[in-house]
C-alpha cells in the first residue's frame, strides 16, 4: 500500500436535518447546506425535515422525530448528521445519543470548509481561532462524538488532540492565537498605510460566495487566483494591480465570500482580512445575476457589510455571469434600482471596460474637498496629498501652504485636524 493510499479517508455519507418554517427561505437554506456538504467533500444521501415554529430546546427537532433518524440513517448507511441551523451543546449531545451519528450544525460545517481551504499561515490562524471559540463550550464528551465522525468533517483544524485538553488549556491557546491574529492585523494595517502613502487607491471585491470575485480579479489583472465552482473556493485575500483609463493604477483586493448566517466566530476571526473591505476606498459588490436566489444573496451580503460598518461606503454593483442570464430585460430593470450598476461577465469579458470606468468615477466621487493652510512642518502630509488626491490649487505663504484639494476621507480628516482655515478660502457648504 502506498503512502498516499494509506492516507485516503473514505467519503462520508451525510443525512441532512432541517426545520420547515423556521425561516421563510428554509428550502433555499437546505439546498445551500447540501452545497456546503459537497464543498466539504461529503456525499448527501438524504434529508429529514419537521414542521415546527422553532427548534426544540432539547433535541432541536421533537424527541419522536429524533428517534426516527437512527433507522433511516442505518438504511441509507449515513455516518454523519448535518443540521441546518445552530445547535446548542445540549441539543448536539442529545442528537448524538438519539441517532448514534456524528452531528454537526451549519456553523461547524462552514468552519470545517474553512479549515480545508486555508492555505496561508494567516488563514490557518484565523480558522483555528474561530474553531476553538466555537468548540470551547462543546468540549465535554467530545471524544466520543469525534470517534463517530471517523476523522472526517468536524475534526480538521485544531483536531482531536486540542479537543481533548481541558478548558483552561483551550482558553490559553485561544489567547495565544488571538495575539498572533492581532499581529497579522497590525502588519496588514502597516501595509495598508504604505499603500495609501504611495497614492494607490484600493478597491475591494465583496459579495456572496461563488459570485465570481476571483474570476473577476483574474480577468481584470491577469492574475492566477484559484477558481472553482464551489462555495468558499478561496479564503486568503489577494491583491492585484489594475490600470484604469488614462493610465491610473489602482489595487483590487479579493476578500472572503459571504454567506447567509455567516458564523459570528468567522466574522470576528477574519476581521483582519475583512478590514481590507472596511478600509477600501470603493467596494465592488459582485452579484451572481444568474442565481435564482440573487436577491437573497444581495441582502445577505449587505447584512455582513452593514455589520462591518461598510453600508455607506462608495460602491458599484457588478451583476456578474450575464452570459447565463436568459431574461436580460428583467435584469436591466433590476439594475435601475441601483445608483451605480454594471452588467458583466468575468468569464467572457463583457462589460469589464465599463466596470473599470464606473469604478474610476466612484473613486473620484469618494474624494472629499479640503481647504486648509498646512504649516511647513507638515510636509509629509502635503506629499501624501499629491500622491493620493487631486490638488486644485497650492500657494506658498510665510504661514505655510495654502491648499485646496480633493483627497480620501481619512486624509481629509487628518488635514483638517492639523491645518487651519484660511480667510481667503471659501469653504464648500
Q: What percent of the chain has pLDDT over 90?
A: 38
The proportion of the chain whose per-residue pLDDT surpasses 70, expressed as a percent, equals: 83
Q: Is the dihedral of CA 185, 186, 189, 190 positive or negative?
A: negative
Is pLDDT larger for residue 365 or for residue 302? 302
- Cα distances (Å, whole numbers) of residue 211 to 269, 286, 346: 22, 6, 10
Closest CA to 390 of 374, 368, 410, 375: 368
d(CA 269, CA 118): 13
User: What are the φ/ψ torsions at residue 19 (nearest 5 degrees)?
Assistant: -105, 120
199-364 domain in CATH 3.40.630.30? Answer: no
Least confident of 10-14, 143-147, 198-202: 143-147
Sequence ranges of the domains in the chain: 3-164, 199-364, 367-418
Q: Check: CB of residue 9 under 8 Å from CB of residue 152.
A: yes
Mean of pLDDT over the chain: 83
Q: How far apart are CA 49 and CA 135, in angstroms?
A: 26
For 261-312, the pLDDT digits (tens) are 777 777 776 666 677 788 888 999 999 999 998 999 999 899 888 888 888 8
Among 3.40.50.11060, 3.30.70.20, 3.30.559.30, 3.40.50.300, name the CATH number for the domain at 3-164. 3.40.50.11060
pTM of the model: 0.76
Assess contact for 71 and 117: CB atoms under 8 A: no
Distance CA(226)–CA(214), nearest Å, equals 7
Amino acid at each position: 500500500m502506498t503512502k498516499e493510499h494509506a492516507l485516503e479517508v473514505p467519503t462520508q455519507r451525510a443525512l441532512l436535518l432541517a426545520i420547515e418554517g423556521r425561516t421563510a427561505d428554509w428550502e433555499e437554506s437546505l439546498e445551500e447546506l447540501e452545497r456546503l456538504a459537497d464543498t466539504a467533500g461529503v456525499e448527501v444521501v438524504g434529508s429529514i425535515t419537521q414542521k415546527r415554529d422553532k427548534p426544540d430546546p432539547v433535541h432541536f427537532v421533537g424527541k419522536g422525530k429524533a428517534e426516527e433518524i437512527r433507522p433511516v440513517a442505518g438504511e441509507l448507511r449515513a455516518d454523519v448528521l448535518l443540521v441546518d441551523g445552530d445547535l446548542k451543546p445540549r441539543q448536539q449531545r442529545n442528537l448524538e445519543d438519539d441517532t448514534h451519528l456524528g452531528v454537526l450544525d451549519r456553523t461547524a460545517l462552514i468552519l470545517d470548509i474553512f479549515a480545508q481551504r486555508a492555505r496561508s499561515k494567516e488563514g490557518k490562524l484565523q480558522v483555528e481561532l474561530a474553531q476553538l471559540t466555537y468548540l470551547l463550550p462543546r468540549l465535554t464528551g467530545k471524544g466520543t462524538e469525534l470517534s463517530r465522525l471517523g476523522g472526517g468533517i468536524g475534526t480538521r483544524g485544531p483536531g482531536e488532540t486540542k479537543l481533548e485538553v481541558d478548558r483552561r488549556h483551550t482558553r490559553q491557546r485561544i489567547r495565544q492565537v488571538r495575539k498572533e491574529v492581532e499581529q497579522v492585523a497590525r502588519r496588514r494595517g502597516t501595509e495598508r498605510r504604505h499603500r495609501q502613502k504611495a497614492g494607490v487607491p484600493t478597491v475591494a471585491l465583496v459579495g456572496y460566495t461563488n459570485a465570481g470575485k476571483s474570476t473577476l480579479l483574474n480577468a481584470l489583472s491577469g492574475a492566477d487566483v484559484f477558481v472553482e465552482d464551489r462555495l468558499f473556493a478561496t479564503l486568503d485575500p489577494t491583491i492585484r494591480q489594475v490600470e484604469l483609463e488614462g493610465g491610473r493604477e489602482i489595487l483590487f483586493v479579493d476578500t472572503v465570500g459571504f454567506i447567509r448566517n455567516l458564523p459570528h466566530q468567522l466574522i470576528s476571526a477574519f476581521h483582519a482580512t475583512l478590514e481590507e473591505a472596511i478600509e477600501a476606498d470603493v467596494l465592488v459588490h459582485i452579484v451572481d445575476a444568474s442565481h435564482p436566489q440573487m436577491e437573497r444573496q444581495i441582502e445577505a451580503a449587505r447584512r455582513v457589510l452593514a455589520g462591518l460598518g461598510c453600508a455607506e461606503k462608495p460602491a458599484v454593483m457588478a451583476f456578474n455571469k450575464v452570459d447565463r442570464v436568459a431574461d436580460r430585460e428583467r435584469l436591466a430593470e433590476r439594475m435601475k434600482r441601483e445608483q451605480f450598476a454594471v452588467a458583466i461577465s468575468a468569464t467572457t469579458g463583457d462589460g469589464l471596460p465599463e466596470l473599470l470606468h464606473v469604478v474610476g468615477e466612484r473613486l473620484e466621487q469618494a474624494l472629499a474637498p479640503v481647504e486648509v493652510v498646512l504649516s511647513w512642518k507638515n510636509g509629509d502630509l502635503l506629499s501624501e496629498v499629491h500622491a493620493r488626491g487631486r490638488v486644485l490649487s497650492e500657494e506658498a505663504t510665510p504661514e505655510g501652504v495654502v491648499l485646496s484639494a480633493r483627497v480620501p476621507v481619512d486624509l481629509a480628516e487628518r488635514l483638517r485636524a492639523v491645518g487651519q482655515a484660511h480667510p481667503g478660502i471659501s469653504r464648500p457648504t
